[in-house]
Structure 1
Amino acid sequence: MLVDSHCHLDFPDFAEDLDGIVARAEAAGVGKLVTISTRVRRLPALLAIAERFPNVYCSVGTHPHNADEEDGISAEELIELTKHPKVIALGEAGLDNFYEHGSSGAQERGFRAHIAAARATGLPLVIHTREADEQCGTILEDEMARGAFKAVLHCYTGGRELAMKAIDMGLSISFTGIITFKKSQELRDLAAELPADRIMVETDAPYLAPGKWRGKRNEPSYVVETAKVLAETRGVSLEELSRQTTENFFRLFSKAFAESSPGTGEPA
């Protein structure tokens, strides 16, 4: 089984095809999907999707692009919203200096509030970081010194220094279809180097379709192609890569494990 640990099923791209999207994922062996929040105020729409499909979970958080729009949302409010059984993570939150859609101050305030909520709840934070390696690393080190928390750097495209700093802090790294692109050799080299117990796969659908579908709408079933390339990169079988990344997912997103199979000891 594979897991798509990061997609956006509430986006308009999927509105007319949601049942088909989930069915194709299941048929491809993608057993769990996590639809990731980009606006706290739109959580009800995510919950409606997660409640509709037994194998779909969600997070709650504010994407850095929306940091000004949701500036001031507190850790306490985030903590309260994580009490829903289908909410298994915080985020995505973090820093984005590539686009100027969120002011630096609001992004950092939001990032730190999400970290505080992750620390308090024990749920993982899904981190978005783009063109912000040094700033992200500094905030992570500062916050980790205040108390440990779980997190994954999603859709990783940053440098080796930030990746290794994150690994040293006990965090995880997740890869998208970008790793399949011809010009992504440096990223593949990094992926080959990371510890096996800290890597995951995702789609970030509807964006970033793997190479064979590049330019088209991405969907969760395509995470299989990303997993194939990551397995080749690391010199392991697809079966081994699937087993390892799924195990990593359930260890990090442990609430999904509990909700999948209460009392059984095995993920459904």
Structure 2
Amino acid sequence: MIVDSHCHLDFPDFDGEREALIDRARAAGVELMVTICTRIRKFDQIRALAEQFDNVYCSVGTHPNNADEERGIPKDEILKLTEHPKVVAIGEAGLDYFYDYASPEAQAEGLRTHIAVARETGLPLVIHSRDADADMAAILEEEMEKGAFPAILHCFSSGRDLALKGVELGLYVSFSGILTFKRSEEIRAIAAEIPADRLLVETDAPYLAPQPRRGKRNEPAYTAMTAQVLGETRGVSFDEISRQTTENFFRLFRKVPVAPGFEHVRS
């Protein structure tokens, strides 16, 4: 069993074929997926998808590139939305200095609000961090001192120092199709170093399709390709990396009902 811990099924790239997409995922062994919110003001679309499919769950949050657009949404509004049974995570929120779509101040403000929600609910915060390693590490360390919260560094493509700081602070690290790219030697070296009980896999679909699908639209079924490369990188079998990352998923995403055979992770 494999879990796609981060995809965007609401994006128009999948219009008209979501049922077929989910069937293909199941055929590839991807039994569960979390569709990630990027705009709280469009959460109704995310929630509807999670309600439509029994093996799809969702998050609620504002992507850092939309931080100015949704600046000032209060913590209590986000908390209210987390009451839905299919909302199993917060975010994605974070810092993105690669693009100039939102001010650093609004991004940091939004990140801290999402952290407060994760701390209060116990739901994992899905963290987006791009070209912002130092600031991200500083905020995470400062916020952890105020009180621990569960979190994941999603679609990891940052430096080794941020990965190790995240692990030190109790975070999980998720790898996408970037791991499979020919020039991703540094990312694979980081993936080999992360403790086994902190690893997750994802697609970030429709983006970042793994080799040999690179450049085409990504979809949850391709999580299996990334898991294969992650296993090879760490010197373990496909079955072993699938089991380990799925155990980690159920340990972190505690609101998702545990699948048969994985009950031990919550004992």
Tell me if the contact between 1:157 and 1:187 (Cα under 8 Å) persists in the aligned partners: yes
Q: Does 1:246 pair with 2:250?
A: no
Question: How far apart, CA to CA, are the structure 1 residues paired with 2:244 and 2:211?
Answer: 23
Q: For residue 42 of structure 2, what is the aligned residue in structure 1?
A: 42
SS of corresponding position for 1:213: coil
Deviation at 1:98, TM superposition (A): 0.1
1:33 maps onto 2:26 in alignment: no
Unpaired runs of 5+ residues, structure 2, are none
Equivalence map 1:181-260=2 (5 Å): 181-257=181-257
1:266 deviation in Å? 7.5
Superposed CA offset, 1:99-118 (max 9, x none): 00111111001000000000
2:154 corresponding residue in structure 1: 154
Aligned 8 A contact 1:177 1:209 in 2 = yes
Distance 1:33 1:191 in 2: 21
Q: TM-score, normalised by structure 2?
A: 0.97
Could you list the per-position Cα deviations for residues 124-164 of structure 1 after superposition, in whole angstroms to 9, with x for gaps in the alignment?
A: 00000000000000000000000000000000011111110
Identity in percent: 61
Tell whether 2:64 aligns with 1:64. yes
Report the counterpart of residue 76 of structure 2 in structure 1: 76
Moved more, 235-244 or 68-77: 68-77
* Structure 1 outlier segments of 4+, above 2 Å: 264-267
Inter-partner Cα distance in structure 1 for 2:149 and 2:166: 12
Counterparts of 1:246 and 1:207, CA distance in 2: 22
Aligned residues: 264
Cα distance in 1 for residues equivalent to 2:113 and 2:19: 34
Quickly say closer, same or farther: Cα 1:132–1:169, change in 2 above 3 A: same
The reply on whether 1:125 has 2:125 as its aligned counterpart is yes
> If the length of structure 1 is used for normalisation, what is the TM-score?
0.96
SS in 1 for 2:208: coil
Deviation at 1:257, TM superposition (A): 2.6
Distance 1:21 1:169 in 2: 36
- How far did residue 265 of structure 1 move? 4.3
Partner of 2:93: 93
Q: Which runs of 5+ in 1 are unaligned?
A: none
**Deviation, structure 1 residue 78:** 1.1
